[in-house]
Chain A
C-alpha cells in the first residue's frame, strides 16, 4: 500500500485514533489497513449503529469512519446521536451509495464528510487531513505519497 505522511494530533503529536463502523468485516479490515498506513491507530470497531454509540463513549476516538446501511441502527442515525452527545465528534460517512440525497442527509445530521466506496486510500487520506485540519498536522517526510 502507498506510504503516506503520518497524520497526527496537533495538540500532542500522538497518532489519530479511529473508530471504524461497518457491518462488513472485510470493509473494517480494509479501512483499518488504510488508517494504519496514515499513521493512525484503530481504537475500536463496531458492526452496527448501536454498538458504534457505546464504542464512541468508551474509546472517544478522534475520527469515526461510519458505514450507512447496517443492522439494528443505520449509520446516519448513529452519527446524529453521537453528535448530539458529542458536538465536536468528527464523523466521516463511508458508503457505496453516494447520491446527493444520502450525502445531504448525512451532513445535515452532523457528519463532517462523505467518502464513496470503494475507498481510494489517497481520497480518504485527503479527507482525514481536511477533517483534522484544525487540530491535525501531517508530518513532512521525505518520499511520502498522496
Chain B
C-alpha cells in the first residue's frame, strides 16, 4: 500500500480526534491486518472509488463510543442513544473529508461515498492488491481503531468527492 495515500488519513484522524475530544492523541500499533476484519463495537465505514479505491472503517468499542459521543456532544449520552452512532459516522465523515481535501490537492481524484454503519460482525479479508492497515489512536476517551484498505487505481474514473 502506498504510504502517501495513508498518511493524510493518519494526519486527519489525529487532528480531528484531538480537536473533537479536546485532548492529545497518539498513534500506536500500526500493523497489517492478517485476518478478516472483525468489528469491535460501533463502526462506521466509508468507501472510495476512482483513482483510489477501497474502504476505511472507524471502530470504537461500545464504552469508548459513548465517551467520545458524550464528549463531542457536550452531554452524557446513554449507550442506546442513536446520537452515539450518529456521532461516530460524523467523526468518520470529518476525518475522511479532511484527508480527501489533502489528497485532492495532491492530484488524486476519487469519489467518497457517504458513511454508513458497519453492522455485520465480520468484513472481507484483505487481498494481495488491497492490504488492510490497522491503526490505533489512543485518546482520553479510549482507543479509536482505523482500518484502511485502499489501492491506487490510476485508470479509475475520476469523480468528485462527496463527503459532507
Interface residues, chain A, with chain B CB atoms under 8 Å away = 1, 22-27, 29-30, 33, 67-70, 74, 95-102, 116-118, 120
Is B89's CB within 8 Å of the partner chain A?
Answer: yes
Interfacial chain B residues near A1, Cβ < 8 Å: 74
What distance in Å separates the Cβ of A109 from its nearest Cβ neighbour in chain B? 15
Interfacial chain A residues near B86, Cβ < 8 Å: 24-26
B73–A26 CB distance below 8 A: yes
Interface residues of B, count at CB 8 A: 29
Interfacial chain A residues near B93, Cβ < 8 Å: 24, 96, 117
Interfacial chain A residues near B160, Cβ < 8 Å: 101
Q: How far is the CA of A22 from the CA of B87 in the complex (A)?
A: 13
A-B pairs with CB below 8 Å: how many?
A: 81
Known: A27-B90, A33-B74, A96-B163. A101 touches B104 (CB 8 A): yes
Q: How far is the CA of A144 from the CA of B130 in the complex (A)?
A: 51
Is B105's CB within 8 Å of the partner chain A?
Answer: yes
Interfacial chain A residues near B90, Cβ < 8 Å: 24, 26-27
Q: How far is the CA of A101 from the CA of B101 in the complex (A)?
A: 10
User: Which of A22, A24, A27, A97 meets B100, CB within 8 Å?
Assistant: A97
Q: How far is the CA of A120 from the CA of B16 in the complex (A)?
A: 11
Interfacial chain A residues near B73, Cβ < 8 Å: 26, 29-30
B164–A70 CB distance below 8 A: yes
B74–A96 CB distance below 8 A: no
